[in-house]
Amino acid sequence: MTDSESLLPVLCGIFGRTIKRADCQTKPLRGGTLGDVRLVWGTADGIPCKAVWKRQKRWERPGDPGSWRREYDLYQDFGAYFTPGFRPPQCYLSSLREGESELWLEYLEGVSGEALGIEMLELAALELGRFQGRIAACHPDLKLPLSDRGFLAREFAQWHRQTYSRNFLLSGSCCLPPFLKEMLRTGEIVLTGGKSFEYGYLRSPGCGLPQHLRHMLTDTDDRADSIFGALAPLPAVLCHRDFWHENIIYSGVGIGLIDWDTAGWGFPGEDMASLIADGMDPGRFEENCRRLIPAYLTGLSEYAGYIDVPFPEELHIVDQILIKFGYRMLQAYMFAESAEDKARAAGALEKIYELGRSR
């Protein structure tokens, strides 16, 4: 992957001229069991260079055929819809072989993760709104092979399907923490037929969440059809679907956004739910809602004259936070072994409860 022969075409693309010699090193970045992501840096004809090499093997996200090549597909036809203020890394070279995609990408540098201040996040929300507004205005003409708007509903439905039997959960083959196995054995946790372990835990006598938080989650289950019914009239937009602060890079002049391998058509507000709550300190939820949602809606509104459908309201976004993260936060609470970790997970749900009550 990093021998001179394979690097030279990439370096020619980076510099826009013929490169005769490369001397580079690599180190792993984020990846996974089916993906390999590496930083490649060194010199090309004596000039410093840096790029990201990303290889993705074939896999299929449940309900999302072709997910393994999602980022490759996006780079083929979508460049015209990005701007300097909101863009992915430049793609220097891409290839698709049987069962594997490969991308050579620009290495974006800037402020990211927890270092992003509220003003930077506001800019990210504003530019996301503008980007999705442009997409909504021309969506009927776009034919990209991306996942459809049913993705969010399918993702939510996974929490409502049985994955493991009681016998397996109690067996030595299952890595469930011993304290949860004991709760299941003694009847403190009762499985609900055909439903996930988390679904049953929420409704069991051993669930220690305060009653109002349990009700918030069960009420979301009961209202799911109504929630998705309210989202259905909203315009279709391109969602990043992993729009959290670790994937956002503020360069000083605009927003760079990495890891587009879950991108697909979705609802306005879907990415905002991630920006507000995913991986965030719960103490930031309220300020995030108060400042980021108006910025996002401002960006969307710039295209209101081109779109003959309603835009989301703030409550739509709070509902999407519950749809996307409610059960994940419950899972964090359920698996927490210390009182401190349980309090932290419950505190995140409490903040979402307060957001819903204030709107």
Arithmetic mean of pLDDT, 39-52: 88
Q: Is the dihedral of CA 105, 111, 314, 158 positive or negative?
A: positive
Q: Which residue, 21, 9, 25, 28, is CA-closest to 95?
A: 9
Tokens encoding 346: 């419950």
**Quick check: 116 pLDDT over 90?**
yes
Question: Is residue 140 very low, low, confident or very high in pLDDT (cuts 50, 70, 90)?
Answer: low
Q: What is the DSSP string of 62-93?
A: TTBTTGGGHHHHHHHH-GGG-BTTEE-PPEEE
CB atoms < 10 A from the CB of 99, how many? 11
Instruction: Specify the amino acid at residue 198.
Output: E
pLDDT over 70, % of the chain: 92
Give how far Cα 344 sits from Cα of 23, 131, 283, 287, 288, Å. 47, 34, 10, 18, 18
C-alpha 91/C-alpha 343 separation (Å) is: 43
Question: Which residues lie across from 57 on neighbouring strands?
Answer: 100
Nearest-10 crossing angle of helices 118-138, 285-301: 40
Find, among 284, 3, 346, 348, the residue nearest to 122 by Cα: 284
* CB-based contact 276:285 (threshold 8 Å): yes
- Using CB atoms within 10 A of its CB, is residue 272 exposed (0-12), middle (13-18) or buried (19+)? buried
Q: Tokens standing for 267?
A: 């609802």
The pLDDT of residue 18 is 84
pLDDT at 143: 65
- Which domains does the chain show, CATH number per domain? 1-107 (3.30.200.20), 110-359 (3.90.1200)
For the ranges 102-111, 235-244, 306-315, the lowest mean pLDDT is seen at 306-315
User: Which own/partner contact pairs does 10-19 have at CB distance under 8 Å and 24+ positions apart?
Assistant: 10/51, 10/92, 10/93, 10/104, 11/44, 11/49, 13/92, 13/93, 13/104, 14/44, 14/49, 14/51, 14/92, 15/44, 15/47, 15/49, 19/44, 19/45
Other residues' Cβ atoms within 10 Å of the Cβ of residue 69: 18
pLDDT one-digit tens code per residue, 183-218: 999 999 999 988 999 999 999 999 999 999 999 999
- Which residues neighbour 93 within 8 Å (Cβ) at sequence distance 6 or greater? 9, 10, 13, 103, 104
What is residue 216's predicted lDDT score, i.e. its pLDDT?
Answer: 97
CB 79 within 8 A of CB 90: no
Q: Is the pLDDT of residue 46 over 60?
A: yes
Residue labelled with tokens 């290889």: 55
DSSP letter, residue 142: -
Distance CA 153, CA 294 (A): 25
Q: What is the pLDDT of residue 69?
A: 84
What are the tens digits of pLDDT across the range 268-291? 999 999 999 999 999 999 999 999
Mean predicted confidence (pLDDT) in 101-116: 94
**CA distance linking residue 124 with residue 250, whole number of Å:** 8
Instruction: Evaluate if pTM is beyond 0.75.
Output: yes
Which tokens is 341 given? 């970790």
Find all residues with CB under 8 Å of 352, minimum gap 6, and list them: 216, 277, 285, 318, 321, 322, 325, 326, 329
